[in-house]
A and B are shown apart, each in its own frame.
Chain A
Amino acid sequence: MAGLTLTVVSPEREVLREDDVDMVVAPGIEGELGLMPRHAPLVTQLQAGTLRYRSGGDERYLTILGGFLQVMQDTVTVLADGSERSDEIDLERAERARAEALRELEEARTSGDDATVIRARLALLRALARIRTAQRAGRG
């Protein structure tokens, strides 16, 4: 049985293109989403999180900062707002971003600045997505 073709693109570049993928697990907007070959055609939104896929016994991880996923004839295409392979993640920077977002969130909550609360929460989600992806890939 032929595997899946997985393509991950972000606005600035193609992040990944791989053939013969056995399984993809993506952070769907309504929960984790497992995809195997011969999946029915599907279009869904993604939330910030980790996308993992298995290929030849190896499990690999990518950060997804929200976006869309499309399954069509054993081709999985991810249109990510931003995405990095686990080995590209700058963990230190993500940790700093998390601390910064938490601090901003705290400040904005006490001052009742709703716009900043939303922005800080999004920044926090992005930082967490990166950190968790790196952790699952066994880094740090």
Chain B
Amino acid sequence: MANPLELRRRIRSVENTRQITRAMQLVAASRMRRAQDAADAARPYAQEVLGLMQQLVAATGDDLLPPMLRTRPVEHSAYVVMTTNRGLCGALNTNTVRQAMEDVEESRASAEVSVIVIGRRGRVALARLVPMIAAFTDISDRPTAADILPIARMVMDGYLAGDFDEVQIVYPEFVNTLTQRPTSLRLLPVVLPEDTDPRDADVIFEPDPATVLEALVPRFIETVLYETLLELTASEHSARMVAMRAATDNASELIDALGLTYNKLRQAKITSEIIDIASGANALAQRV
């Protein structure tokens, strides 16, 4: 490190890195905002679907409930694990995968377990740990509601065919910019939250409650998947933004430290040159 040229080169290289991490930080910030907007925009539909589900379940009666609303003994569990395609987003995927593995180990005590993975990172991390039914790695940065249709189809078909008896989702919940919490949620069989605001009971259903409910359940499943996918996207970009900000700060610190060393070195060199010249001049002066 004593070589000034070498030091200058290092400073330049760290500056380049800082430029990249800063750009990534800005991009992640804008994508995070977009993902949050998408999540806000999706909320009205999700709320209406939930309200309608509750109303239909109340009107249908227990013995006519469609299979996706009925629980059965669990012999086989499926986990949908949501991870990102790209890295450089801190511990986000590590935490999600760890949560998933904890849940999987718990389920393994009483059932067979397999996973459906979303995201390349999760596919790599879970490859040897749990049997994998499928991996979806081509979901874009700007997910649309159509992106989750193949996943929803697979989950519902598998559940109806009896391939698995319950489906859990593990995803990073977006709490705020600094916090993403790995969260598990049961997708199938559907369990609805308590209806806090039961609506009018005297309702006409066309054709009839059970038929409408049966048609609505897939929309509900898709909605839950879409919402968690948007959570994943918001979490990914906020985690990346924070990670890149830390990297940018570290780069700045490193540049400062290297600059200091470089200046000291330069100073020392100048000092020693002055001493050389001065002592040379002194020697000459004394000779005369």
Residues of A within 8 A of B (CB): 7, 9-14, 28-30, 40-45, 68, 70, 72-73, 77, 79, 81
Q: How far is the CA of A54 from the CA of B73 in the complex (A)?
A: 52
Size bracket, chain B contacts: 20 to 34
Q: Which of B45, B202, B209 interacts with A41 by CB under 8 Å?
A: B202
B219 CB within 8 Å of chain A: yes
Question: How near does chain A come to B60, taking the closest CB pair, in angstroms?
Answer: 11
Q: How far is the CA of A13 from the CA of B212 in the complex (A)?
A: 22
Interface 1/0 per residue, B44-61 and A, CB below 8 Å: 110011001001100000
Q: Do A68 and B216 touch (CB < 8 A)?
A: yes
Q: Do A44 and B206 touch (CB < 8 A)?
A: yes
Residues of B within 8 A of A (CB): 38, 41-42, 44-45, 48-49, 52, 55-56, 144-145, 199-200, 202-207, 209, 211-212, 215-216, 219, 222-223, 226
Q: Do A11 and B45 touch (CB < 8 A)?
A: yes
A-B contact pairs, 21 of them (CB 8 A): A9-B45, A10-B145, A11-B226, A12-B42, A12-B144, A13-B45, A30-B206, A40-B202, A41-B199, A41-B203, A42-B205, A43-B203, A43-B204, A43-B205, A45-B206, A45-B211, A45-B212, A45-B215, A68-B216, A70-B52, A79-B48
Q: How far is the CA of A42 from the CA of B38 in the complex (A)?
A: 30
Q: Which of B41, B45, B48, B205 interacts with A44 by CB under 8 Å?
A: B205
Q: How far is the CA of A44 from the CA of B213 in the complex (A)?
A: 10
Supply 7 further A-B pairs (C-beta < 8 A) apart from A43-B55, A43-B206. A13-B41, A41-B199, A45-B211, A68-B216, A68-B219, A70-B48, A79-B219
Question: How near does chain B come to A119, taking the closest CB pair, in angstroms?
Answer: 12
Interface of A is mostly: strand
Q: How far is the CA of A31 from the CA of B45 in the complex (A)?
A: 24
Contacts A43-B52, A77-B48, A79-B49 given; indicate if A14 touches B204 (C-beta within 8 A).
Answer: no
Which A residues touch B41, using CB under 8 A?
A: 12-14
Chain A, residue nearest B205 (CB) = A43
Which A residues touch B219, using CB under 8 A?
A: 11, 68, 79, 81
Q: Which of B199, B203, B206 interacts with A29 by CB under 8 Å?
A: B206
Q: Do A45 and B207 touch (CB < 8 A)?
A: yes
Q: How far is the CA of A72 from the CA of B211 in the complex (A)?
A: 20
Which A residues touch B215, using CB under 8 A?
A: 45, 68
Contacts A29-B207, A68-B216, A79-B49 given; indicate if A43 touches B56 (C-beta within 8 A).
Answer: yes
Q: How far is the CA of A38 from the CA of B206 in the complex (A)?
A: 18
Question: How near does chain B come to A51, taking the closest CB pair, in angstroms?
Answer: 16
Which B residues touch A14, using CB under 8 A?
A: 41, 44-45
Question: How near does chain A come to B81, taking the closest CB pair, in angstroms?
Answer: 22
Chain A, residue nearest B203 (CB) = A41
Question: How near does chain B come to A74, taking the closest CB pair, in angstroms?
Answer: 12
Q: How far is the CA of A7 from the CA of B205 in the complex (A)?
A: 19
